[in-house]
Chains A and B, each alone.
Chain A
Amino acid sequence: METLEILKTIDDMGGMIKATEKGYPQSEIANSAYIFQQLFEKKDKVMVGVNKYTMVESKRTVQTLYIDRKVEDDQKKRLADLRKRRNQKAWADSLDKLVKAAAAGENLMEPTMNAVKAYATVEEICNSLKQVYGIYREAGSF
């Protein structure tokens, strides 16, 4: 019953996209998370091993894997090198076609594949699509 009521609320708002824009599902999730936390702290809700039946943990035998900063530097170098090496015209054309396809509402699979083949980076592809679609900004409500 509760589910049907929630679905009706979403329908009345004009569907899930409109509801999301209004922050409805986000605030419902935040509400239930907050209620859960309060029950959890009063131990009315039990998480075994976290707020009940806890035990002194034995020393971890698995080491945390720390990634050396050098890995980032190496990747940046590889990327800079790729940017110099790739065919500039093919790269620019592929992103241009991607933007046009997005603006025209066409299927993006082929232009995306072509951009990848022209060594456009994921960031460049995303930024091209952002020019057309914009990006989602959450309301920051809690």
Chain B
Amino acid sequence: VSQKNTESRSRIRVLIAKPGLDGHDRGAKVIARALRDAGFEVIYTGVHQTSEMIVSAAVQEDVHVVGMSVLSGAHNAIVPEVIEGVKKAGLKDALFLVGGIIPEEDFPQLKKVGVHMIFTPGASIEDIISTIEKNAPTRT
């Protein structure tokens, strides 16, 4: 992972969240650490978070990016709830990303509710980093 741009990255706060009854945290932790090593400020929620808990963490930390890791199949129910909650709570410009086991036929629906990008197995860390760099909101 390249170390360039670490200064501009350090201004970007990323929340990595594990919503719902899904204990598979290996990927989420790998992503959290990779993003931290790349220079971003990363907050990891831990497993078994309700949508409300994730919304409240996003608001408290005033994050620029919310990354949800879902491997339980509940993404269609949970992701829209979190996005709606975060936006209602005032972070209207936040960048939403989803990672995990997501069937391709669900992509359009998730994008419609505001997910910018969906990363499935085999996605590279570099891709995730550049997606965040290009699309995270800048706040003054």
Contact = CB atoms under 8 A, between A and B. Distances in A.
A138 interface: yes
- Chain A's interface: helix, strand, loop or mixed, by majority? loop
Interface in B17-63: 26, 28-30, 32-34, 36, 42, 44-47
A29 B28 CA distance: 13
Interface string A115-142: 0000000000000000000000111111
B120 to A, nearest CB: 11
A140 B34 contact: no
Interface string B118-140: 00011011100000000000000
B-side interface mostly: helix
Interface string B57-99: 0000000000000000000100000000000000000000000
B30 A50 contact: no
Interface stretch (A7-15, A33-41, A75-83, A92-100): A33-41
Nearest to B29: A142
A141 B136 CA distance: 24
Given A30-B33, A33-B30, A34-B30, A50 B121 contact: yes
Nearest to A63: B105
Contacts of A66: 76
The size bracket of the interface on A is 10 to 19
Interface residues of B, number: 22
Contacts of B103: 64
Interface in A50-93: 50-51, 64, 66
A138 B47 contact: yes
A30 B44 CA distance: 13
Nearest to A140: B46
Contact of A33 (B26, B44, B124, B125): B26
Contacts of B32: 142
A141 B36 CA distance: 12
Nearest to A31: B33
A142 B44 CA distance: 8
A50 B125 contact: no
Interface of A: 29-30, 33-34, 37, 41, 50-51, 64, 66, 137-142
- Leading 4 A-B pairs by shortest Cβ distance: A142-B32, A142-B29, A140-B46, A138-B46
